[in-house]
Amino acid sequence: MHRQPMDTAMTIAPALEIRKMGRSYAVCAGKSVFRRFRSEAAAIADLQANRALWAYWAGSVGVSVENAECVTIWA
């Protein structure tokens, strides 16, 4: 039996970033918001200190589903 290679787009975690959201800053991966901070410096410091943790969560199934493109299937 021949298996098709796995789609690489499904296995790559979205990039971690600091995003301004209203009056706060957040550690984000795609559409997913992990944690908010009052200052950009605090958000950057937390991302540097906990990068492995946020990278783990960025690759999780919940984040993958939240960031997946919506597909409508008509029956």
Q: Give helix then strand counts, H and E, for the chain.
A: 3, 3
- Write down the pTM of the prediction: 0.72
Q: Where are the alpha helices (DSSP H) in 23-73?
A: 40-49, 51-58, 61-67
- Nearest CA to 49 out of 75, 23, 16, 74 is that of 16
Q: What percentage of the chain exceeds 90 in pLDDT?
A: 51
Which distant-in-sequence residues (6+ apart) come within 8 Å of 21 by Cβ? Answer: 33, 36
Instruction: Compare 43 and 7 and report the one with higher pLDDT.
Output: 43
**Average pLDDT, stretch 30-53?**
95
Give tens-digit pLDDT for 59-72. Answer: 888 888 888 888 88
